[in-house]
Chains A and B, each alone.
Chain A
Amino acid sequence: MASETQGAEAATGLPQLDITTFSNQIFWLLVSLVVIYFILSRVALPRIAAVLAERQGTITNDLAAAEDLKAKAVEAEEAYNKALADARAEAQKIIAETRAEIKADLDKANEKADAEIAERTAEGEKKLAEIRESAMESVREVAKGTAAEIVSAMGGKADGRTVNAAINARMKG
């Protein structure tokens, strides 16, 4: 009977106002709060604070490192540009040198060729003169013979010296 009235009371009235349960709730609440407080202040909060501080440190370090790397990159770019300019100048120099060398070689070769040509020409001319000389000689021989034959055929007496002189005079003319 007693429990029945209590149940009815609890169902119709607010359970929140049932004073008999207060001590129980307050006791367990205080226990919970103390437990939570110790979990937080001893473990959780210092740990999270440490993690956050560490992250802040890492970020600061990384930013500094990034700054360093950026400076290095600029330096490297400058060095690259300088190397490029140097290489270009070197290439220009090599090109000029090579050109001069080739020109010198070419000139030398030209000169040599010219000299050879001149030599060959001289040689050819000499040979030509020789050939002409020998041809003249042959002509003279033939002419002497022929002239002597003609003179004798015409009934004269071929005087070798006279014929020779006449032919030489003719050939000169």
Chain B
Amino acid sequence: MATEAHGAGEGGLAFHPMDQFLVKPLFGDGEVGMFTLTNATFWMALTILAIFALLVMGTSGRATIPSRMQSVAELAYEFVRKMVVDVAGKEALVFFPYIMTLFMFIVFANFLGLLPMAFTTTSHIAVTAVLAVMVFLTVTILGFVKNGAAFLSLFWVSSAPLALRPILAVIELISYFVRPVSHSIRLAGNMMAGHAVIKVFAGFSQVAMIAPLSILAVSAMYGLEVLVSFIQAYVFTILTCVYLKDALHPHH
């Protein structure tokens, strides 16, 4: 239809790098309503299944000498736990299940999104924005509940000269409210860009002359994306811990 005409205009090459991000109903062709089962639903369900398989079925042996799956599950557990303790301190351990949920969801959604033909839920700003806003709300509410008005000292840099403090306070305030934006766009943008670039390279393989080069590029990008998938999950989680630390200890 319109896209084909669009593609034909570029010398017979058809690029659809963004089609992979379309949210479509799983059954039928109707509108996407709030409770419609869509490909997003399907891949989120797969994410849950993967997490269940690793953390519950993988550890069902409860072995003192762990199996491979159990080792990976323990590794993930200790990785996130250590991150929470190191960054936000021991009292942040109350939020460990919450942070672990975020990390496991993002890391598995990212990796499942790397499967060919997959839909990457974390490439959607709607998803990452919800995750980021949840973190933002948690941190802000926790900060006020724990410290009361003293939480506002987060914006009052007491180590700076007195004259500079109001200006710094404005900057700090803006940066505080920009947090959920950067937090969510960083993740969605990384995932979307990587997948789109892979698709563009894949589109070039329609031309026999550049096909080997494009396949090589796709392979290289794929490797990079594997790295990015983990790093972005890590970055999202560690930033959550940093924000949590601010809420627990607002004084610089």
- Write the residues of chain A forming the contact surface with B, with a CB cutoff of 8 angstroms: 4, 7-8, 10-12, 14-18, 20-33, 35-37, 39-41, 43-45, 47-52, 54-55, 58
Contact = CB atoms under 8 A, between A and B. Distances in A.
B86 to A, nearest CB: 17
Contacts of A14: 18, 21
B36 A24 contact: yes
Contact of B31 (A20, A32, A50): A20
Given A33-B101, A36-B105, A40-B104, A51 B64 contact: yes
- Across the A-B interface, give the 5 residue pairs with the lowest CB-CB distance, nearest first: A8-B2, A44-B55, A21-B23, A41-B97, A15-B21
Interface string B7-45: 000000000101101110000000111111010110011
19 contacts: A7-B2, A12-B2, A15-B18, A16-B21, A16-B192, A20-B31, A23-B33, A25-B124, A26-B130, A29-B40, A32-B47, A37-B97, A39-B51, A44-B55, A44-B73, A48-B55, A48-B77, A52-B78, A55-B64
Interface string B93-127: 00011101100110000000000000001011111
Interface residues of B, number: 54
Nearest to A6: B31
Interface of B: 1-3, 6, 16, 18-19, 21-23, 31-36, 38, 40-41, 44-45, 47-48, 51-52, 55-56, 59, 62-64, 66, 70, 73-74, 77-78, 96-98, 100-101, 104-105, 121, 123-127, 130-131, 188, 192
Most B CB within 10 A of own CB, among A11, A17, A20: A11
B8 to A, nearest CB: 14
A130 B124 CA distance: 145
Contacts of B38: 21, 24-25, 28
A29 B130 contact: yes
Contacts, number: 144
A45 B123 contact: no
A11 B3 CA distance: 7
B40 to A, nearest CB: 5
B23 A47 contact: no
Contact of B6 (A12, A33, A51): A12
Contact of B23 (A25, A44, A45, A49): A25
